[in-house]
Amino acid sequence: MYKTDLSVTIKSLKMKNPVMPASGAYDYFENNANVFPMDILGAIMLKSIHRRARPGNKPPRIAEVSAGMLNAVGIPSAGIEAYLRDNSLARYRELNVPVIVSVSGDQPQDYVETCRMLAGNPSVDAIELNLSCPNVGTGLQLATDEVLLGRTVEATRLVTDFPLIVKLSPNVTDICKPAVIAQDCGADAVTIANTFMGMKIDIKTRKPFLGNTTGGLSGPAIKPITLRMVYQAYQKISIPIIGCGGIMSAADAIEYILAGATAVQVGSGNFVNPMLMKEVIEGMDAYLAENHFEKLEDIRGAAH
């Protein structure tokens, strides 16, 4: 199928290619289901499952901005117990692709409890801790508080054997600090990064446009910044980095690999182009082949 070796391994998580959706950015079962077969993806990532049920934020939740969008969705979730009760994770297993469950909570203990409940679940291949949603209630982002970040990663590490990915916040001065803390506290990989906190004001009403006042900026607008963060973190940590931010083409994804990313996530680009992840996978393979590389590994971090 591929002309080159695109495979990626993060502990026991084995992916045939490095491309997966960012959490909350793809519909696997209905309208997008026939656009391309889901099993071409390296992995699928679930919308964050919160510890407890949450309705999400009041609308409007979406605002378009230059070269991107703001979202203030606020993790609407049935809560982990409802997921387990309905066995709703099992349907993801049927997609025949590794399943990464994104988990979220209001406090460190929430993550521990959710990971404990997921222990040994046959429908799960890895866990991503969403410690960086800018839109949940208190505005507290666990990934921006070094003490809370360390405590949360350490505590969840103790209760899960699944590969543990920590999704970091870009809303920090130096991404290397939280990246090193995540590594030192037992993370198997970090995702760099979640959305940047931003806002839009409606000049007709003269009030914030989004129901939540602020939202998370995603899209091509943020790519140079998250790319820089991946580049910097790669110099400081040895665990794999999953690059996430503004990928709109295979070329964007290749830049992340050159900066040092092991894998990539595609977020709001999926909304604009439902075929994007397929194009990214094929485009990376073609790029490697055209440039006479045998495997993705050969170009990882090559920009350093």
Q: In this complex, which beta carbon is closest to other proteins, that of residue 162 or of residue 256?
A: 256
The reply to whether 274 sits near other proteins by the rule CB under 8 A is: yes
Q: From CA 106, how far away is CA 275, in angstroms rounded?
A: 34
Q: In this complex, which beta carbon is closest to other proteins, that of residue 62 or of residue 155?
A: 62
Binding mask 74-93 for other proteins (x = CB under 8 A): --x-----------------
Cβ 262 to other proteins, closest distance in Å?
25
Decide: 229 and 170 in contact? Cβ < 8 Å. yes
Q: In this complex, which beta carbon is closest to other proteins, that of residue 8 or of residue 70?
A: 70
Task: List the one residue from 158, 272, 289, 302 that touches other proteins (CB under 8 A).
Answer: 272
Contacts of 41 (CB under 8 A, 6+ apart): 17, 19, 20, 21, 97, 277, 281
Task: List the one residue from 53, 67, 251, 289 that touches other proteins (CB under 8 A).
Answer: 67
Q: Is 244 a known active-site residue?
A: no
Task: List the one residue from 18, 46, 47, 164 that touches other proteins (CB under 8 A).
Answer: 47
Q: In this complex, which beta carbon is closest to other proteins, that of residue 71 or of residue 183?
A: 71
What is the token pair recorded at 276?
């994007």
What is the token pair recorded at 66?
């230059």
* Cα distances (Å, whole numbers) of residue 51 to 6, 129, 144, 269, 275: 34, 12, 20, 28, 32
Cβ 119 to other proteins, closest distance in Å?
27
Q: From CA 20, how far away is CA 167, in angstroms rounded?
A: 14
Task: List the one residue from 4, 16, 19, 26 that touches other proteins (CB under 8 A).
Answer: 26
Q: From CA 172, how far away is CA 115, in angstroms rounded?
A: 26
Decide: 3 and 286 in contact? Cβ < 8 Å. yes
* Cα distances (Å, whole numbers) of residue 150 to 59, 81, 265: 33, 25, 24
Chain-centroid distance of CA 57 in Å reads 20
The reply to whether 275 sits near other proteins by the rule CB under 8 A is: yes
Q: In this complex, which beta carbon is closest to other proteins, that of residue 21 or of residue 108?
A: 21
The catalytic position among 133, 176, 185, 244 is: 133
Cβ 209 to other proteins, closest distance in Å?
9
Decide: 251 and 279 in contact? Cβ < 8 Å. no
In eight-state DSSP terms, residue 240 is: -
- Catalytic residue ranges: 133
What residues make contact with other proteins under the rule CB under 8 A? 24-27, 30-32, 34-35, 47, 55-56, 59-69, 71, 73, 76, 219-220, 248, 268, 270-272, 274-275
